[in-house]
Amino acid sequence: MDNTANEKHFEERIRAGEVIEPKDWMPERYRKQLVRMMSQHAHSEIIGMLPEGNWITRAPSLRRKMILLAKVQDEGGHGLYIYSGTETLGVKREDLLQDLLDGKAKYSNIFNYPTLSWADMGTIGWFVDGAAIINQTTLAKCSYGPYSRAMIRICKEENFHKKQGFEIMATLAAGTPEQRAMAQDAVNRWWWPSLMMLGPSDKDSPNTAELSLWGVKRKSNDELRQRFVDMTVPQAQAIGLTLPDPDLKFNEQTGHWEHGPINWDEFFAVIKGNGPCNRERLGAKRKAHEQGAWVREAAAAYARKHSEPSKAAA
């Protein structure tokens, strides 16, 4: 088939809801868009380990420490899983990582904010994993097989992450006045960046139209954001915490919670590298990469050693 016929066949398959696999023909632009989105997602999981990792040694009990340790490890696993998925599109993980280390790659805005108190661990689980699940359950139905399968597995773990976060917040909200104040302060700081996490408003989202046409995105950024707000408002009410938005109101006609204006200038500043912790996060990642060089060398030597007998046999 020539390229035009290939493209026609590809679009028919997308329209029929078929799943595209790595060896199938795909337009170059589809491949590039997936590499962009999936590598950013993988980087977000890896950088996302840092703000919570800061609190492992300061968790308030052994139980909380074990849960947080497991959560941070899960995030690392998600990153590796999605890097593997991205590699099925013909790119090398080392190159993707190098782009991250060089500051050329994007990762989620949300991880450029500081984690100031234990309540931030609760809020990240509740808001950040909560927003991620809303997005990722739709990505689990995306047209690219390796990405959709990765999302199914990852969402199962994210559900546990969200529950542990909400449980931290419910406990603090029902605690002493100081614990309650700490919980409220964390909610005040994380609410707006969490809304931004679902991407710019639809009118400023250059990639949505193309990704939706190809069945990668099943919901637009604003639709996902609305779902997140509708889900989270009753949860905040249930534990007696206030979301920091004086314009938040329920619209009886639409059945949705309406939120006030989002500070998109802040969002674009953060994703261009000028958020409160961008430099710190990349610095920590670079240091971990350098210090982990011996592990990569040892793993490569081990792999070489164990591939020798099979080569000899062949």
Please give the residue ranges that form the binding site for ligand BYC (CB under 6 A).
Answer: 36-37, 40-41, 44-45, 48, 75, 106, 108-109, 124, 128-129, 132, 135, 197-200, 205-208, 211, 221, 271
Q: Which is nearer to ligand BYC, 122 or 200 (CB)?
A: 200
CB closer to ligand BYC out of 59 and 293: 59
For the bound state, the minimum distance from the C-beta of residue 112 to ligand BYC, rounded and expressed in Å, comes to 9
User: Is residue 256 helix, strand or coil?
Assistant: strand
β pairing state of 256-258 and 249-251? antiparallel
Burial class, 105, CB count within 10 angstroms (exposed 0-12 / middle 13-18 / buried 19+): middle
Distance from CA of residue 23 to its chain's centroid?
Answer: 26
What's the closest the beta carbon of residue 182 comes to ligand BYC, in angstroms? 20
Shortest distance in whole angstroms from residue 125 CB to ligand BYC: 8
Residue (188 or 207) nearer to ligand BYC, CB: 207
For residue 313, the minimal CB distance to ligand BYC (Å) is: 42
State which residue, 184 or 220, has the beta carbon closest to ligand BYC. Answer: 220
Structure tokens at 5: 């016929």
Question: Which CB atom, from 78 or from 257, has the smaller least distance to ligand BYC?
Answer: 78
* Distance (Å, whole) CA 68 – CA 53: 8
Distance CA 79, CA 159 (A): 17
- Tell me whether residue 131 or residue 170 sits nearer to ligand BYC (CB atom): 131
In sequence order, the β-bridge partners of residue 20 are: 144
The torsion region of residue 199 among left (phi > 0), alpha (psi -120 to 50) and beta comes to: left
Residue number with the smallest Cβ distance to ligand BYC: 48
Closest distance of CB 297 from ligand BYC, Å:
27
- Residue closer to ligand BYC by CB (options 242, 263) is 263
The token pair that represents 310 in the structure block: 């099979």
105 Rama class: left (phi>0) / alpha (psi -120 to 50) / beta: beta
Q: Answer yes or no: are the C-beta atoms of 221 and 211 closer than 8 Å.
A: no
Q: CB of 12: closest distance to ligand BYC in angstroms? A: 24
Q: Specify which residues 258 forms β-bridges with.
A: 249
> Measured from the CB of residue 49, what is the shortest distance to ligand BYC in angstroms?
6
Q: How far is the CB of 37 from ligand BYC (least distance, A)?
A: 5
Alpha helices in the chain (DSSP H): 3-15, 28-47, 49-53, 62-87, 93-101, 118-123, 130-139, 145-173, 177-196, 208-213, 221-239, 264-269, 278-291, 293-313
Nearer to ligand BYC, 181 or 280 (CB): 280
